[in-house]
Amino acid sequence: MARIAVVGPGAIGGTIAAELSRGGVHELVVCARTPFERLEVETPTGPLVATPRVLLDPAEASPVDWVLVATKAYDHAATALWLKPLFGEGTRIAILQNGVEHVARFSPYVPASSLLPVVVSCPAGRSAPGRIRLRRQAALRVPDTADGRAFAALFSRSEVVVTTVADFMSELWRKLCLNCAGAVSAILMQPAAPSKRAGIAQLMRDLASECRAVANAEGASLGDDAVDDAVASYLRGAPDAINSLHADRLAGRPMEIDARNGVVVRLGAKHGIPTPLNKAVVALLEAVSA
């Protein structure tokens, strides 16, 4: 049993909180911005309903063993208001977000040694507060460290697959190769389908290739397969699958432009690696969200 706080009960946080409630083994609290009565998650194996304790004000929070952060990357400052009261002796903080800067994003607020970056493969969408549809079994990947293994153990009663990975840096960047190419769907406002067009598939390949070059300069070790896999993933995606960048644009929410494409441009510049396509994507997405 662990005391767990999930901050940000959206598509990912709501799914993960509901999964952690299976078996009633943990003392679970959900830290939300918008109130909801219960979590209803439509999973591939059937409906999952959970009624965790919901907090709406950081002043109500107290220290826990684990904090699982599942807010958007750009909400880090507001999220940090929860971290202070939730943090106590031995608290570990798992960051379930996209991008490659999980630790850098939160280390201004909490000790970097308490942070555990998590790669999230959990295609989920939220139709209303607390109501989520999970398209495929949720999978999380964490570094193969003591904290990574302790995090995986939290999910022993759930249907979430948690894998520990030795070369976690490459894992983070592998996911970014996929995500940076997904910007095309958000620009076109079309789900996975456009990747079936040869020109669009090539554009996605070129975006991911820029990312791969930056990844390897940063110390990752990615081969051509990272780019091939990214494009193949969109090619075999369900025709109506909507990635979270696209979902944000549809809902009129801010988009994680910097975490998914801007970072490729910024870190590319640091290494003198040209990233003109990611730069173009950033300019286009910033223009449509202005």
Ligand X SMILES: NC(=O)c1ccc[n+]([C@@H]2O[C@H](COP(=O)([O-])OP(=O)(O)OC[C@H]3O[C@@H](n4cnc5c(N)ncnc54)[C@H](OP(=O)(O)O)[C@@H]3O)[C@@H](O)[C@H]2O)c1
Sole binder of ligand X in the list 5, 41, 110, 124 (CB under 6 A): 124
Please, which of residues 29-48 interact with ligand X by CB under 6 A? 31-34
- Whichever of 26 and 260 has its CB closer to ligand X, that residue is 260
Q: Does 176 bind ligand X (CB under 6 A)?
A: no
- Of the candidate spans 19-27, 117-125, 228-236, 282-290, the one that interacts with ligand X by CB under 6 A turns out to be 117-125
Cα–Cα distance for residue pair 267/255, rounded to 1 Å: 19
- Whichever of 73 and 181 has its CB closer to ligand X, that residue is 73
- Of the candidate spans 41-49, 67-75, 140-148, 204-212, the one that interacts with ligand X by CB under 6 A turns out to be 67-75
- Whichever of 125 and 194 has its CB closer to ligand X, that residue is 125
Site string for ligand X, 221-250 (x = CB under 6 A): -----------------------x------
Q: Does 261 bind ligand X (CB under 6 A)?
A: no
Q: Does 160 bind ligand X (CB under 6 A)?
A: no
